[in-house]
Amino acid sequence: MSAVFASAQEPMAFGAKFDSIVRNPARYSRILDKFKAGVERPSVSECTIAYYGFPYQEGYTGTVEGEQELQRAIMEGRFLPAYLMGKQILENNPVSLTTLYWTLHAATQIREPWEVRNSLRARYNSLCHIISLSGDGASPETAFKVIYLGDMYTYTAMELGLEIGEGYLLDDRWMELEVTPAEARFKHYSIFFDIWVRQ
């Protein structure tokens, strides 16, 4: 919990190497395919490129088509259709943190083989790790960076364990969320996210 409000970490370096890879579809595809396969654990650098490079790729719209239907199926207890929907979404968008989370949940409910669940869990955990390295969430300058609005809510609620209150858009890019730690519901904090898009 305290890590959310700790002093700012060193900002992530998106330098020339990042630019050269994400603007080269063949090079980027190799890294994305490695992440998508979930067999060999990608490095932090490769996960960073896979996630933050996705907005540079053709077809990125800032939303994940089918994600709301997936969540609705989960809430209705239709876990097999939810799992199949999640797999389909991940084919086209393997770096959606929210889709990974709900697909893993559905896979667990229908008792998919351990290897399948472990691959989904490893990919989810890898994305949470690089988001945690992107900032500390204490201010707009040190905001956590995500590429989808849904990922902001998933990371806050599922990874940080914070209850989400009001959200405020700041300057068309940053979001401020009022959050309450689960063990102290009366005490409110703010946490900041940078909805990171291609520059």
Secondary structure in 3-state letters for the chain: CHHHHCCCCCCCCCCHHHHHHHCCHHHHHHHHHHHHHCCCCCCHHHHHHHHHCHHHCCCCCCCCCCHHHHHHHHHCCCHHHHHHHHHHHHHHCCCCHHHHHHHHHHHHHCCCCHHHHHHHHHHHHHHHHHHHHCCCCCCHHHCEEECCHHHHHHHHHHHCCEEEEEEEEECCCEEEEEEEECCCCCCCEEEEEEECCCC
Of 49-58, 72-81, 127-136, 171-180, the poorest mean pLDDT is in 171-180
Domain limits for position 152: 2-195
Average pLDDT over residues 111-120: 94
| Number of domains present in the structure of the chain | 1
Average pLDDT over residues 54-64: 85
pLDDT of residue 66: 93
pLDDT of residue 128: 95
pLDDT of residue 183: 63
pLDDT of residue 173: 74
pLDDT of residue 62: 81
> Taking 80 as the threshold, does the pLDDT of residue 188 lie above it?
no
pLDDT of residue 39: 66
> Taking 90 as the threshold, does the pLDDT of residue 140 lie above it?
no
> Taking 90 as the threshold, does the pLDDT of residue 146 lie above it?
yes
Of the pLDDT bands very low, low, confident and very high (cuts 50, 70, 90), residue 7 is very low
With both helix axes pointing from N to C terminus, report the angle between 79-92 and 67-75 in degrees, rounded to the nearest 10.
160
Q: Which of 21-25, 52-56, 104-108, 155-159 has the highest mean pLDDT?
A: 104-108
Of 10-14, 34-38, 127-131, the poorest mean pLDDT is in 10-14
> Taking 90 as the threshold, does the pLDDT of residue 11 lie above it?
no
Please give the angle made by the CA atoms of 63, 122 and 19, to the nearest 5 degrees. Answer: 55
Average pLDDT over residues 158-179: 82
pLDDT of residue 182: 66
What is the pTM assigned to this prediction? 0.85
